[in-house]
Amino acid sequence: MVTTRERARDARLQASIDEFLSHARYERGLSANTVQSYRRDLVMWQNYCAKRSIKGPPTHEELTDFLGRLRGGKEPASKPLAPSSVARMIVSLRSLYRYLAREGKIEVDPTSKLAAPRRPRSLPKAITLEDVARLVESPARDLLGRRDRAALETLYGSGIRISELVALDVDDIDLEEGSLLVRSGKGSKARRIPLGRKALAAVGDYLSVTRPELLKRSAAGAARGALFLNARGGRLTRQGCWKLLKGYAESAGLGPRVSPHTLRHSFATHMLDGGADIRVVQEMLGHASLATTQVYTLVSDSHLREVYLTSHPRARG
């Protein structure tokens, strides 16, 4: 018989997995097939944890036992898994627990010592300034178009995550000072970010024209001060924001190249290209470690090389 405590433990792991998969789909912009692969792997891991009453983050021994059972075809596997499948499982586990550690949900990533196949380092994909302009100027000047323009300008203008965008309240933005307060950053660390003229203008337009109309559609108290509202007057969700971004990316001719993280990557890359100090960019992005931000310098280095090759008189043959 399953006890109340066991049900609560299983529910916590399920909630963590659901949150991670939502992040992978709607913030990182991973394909539905990739997210489904993560889900299949993590369901198998969840079954293993339930059978062994694993509480909280697993130990290194529990992780290696689980992977050993998969290689040997023991429960929860029905047959020995191929090395490629085990490698994919390691990636799924590491992605889950790295996410939970970055979010401050767990203190230490238990998968940090797991050996995984070396993969080429993937650089963040940024779009050009021209592509950014096409994207943020795509929305029409109608009711929801004003909201969408404000959301896109804010994402690119501040570099915040989509989860941070939809968590913003009206009181978090200061139009006079030209800044927004992010209260829901990773590790629950708040930070104040300056916001540029175009983003402030778009948000001001949305606040004066669109939000009052959307608020009329809201059930009493449903929005609770949310900055960005959906068509029914409730708080805009990550999924809703992701869908509107994908729609405008298609209409701007950018297709699948754009995800919410693309705007974040572009913000960081363009800031560094423009001469911003990397520690300033680190603070604005909310990175706990400078090493996380330094990956953007690799992108900017390639830009610098391109400028050098086209500009220096002795760089060309």
Active site residues: 161, 186, 261, 264, 287, 296
**162-166 contacts at long range (C-beta below 8 A, 24 or more positions apart):** 162/26, 162/27, 162/238, 162/241, 162/242, 162/260, 163/23, 163/27, 163/238, 164/286, 165/228, 165/241, 166/226, 166/228, 166/235, 166/236, 166/237, 166/238, 166/240, 166/241
Measured distance CA(147)–CA(140) in Å, rounded? 10
Neighbours of 92 (CB within 10 A): 21
DSSP string across 131-170: HHHHHHT-S-SSHHHHHHHHHHHHHHHH---HHHHHH-BG
Phi, psi of 181 (to 5 degrees): -105, 120
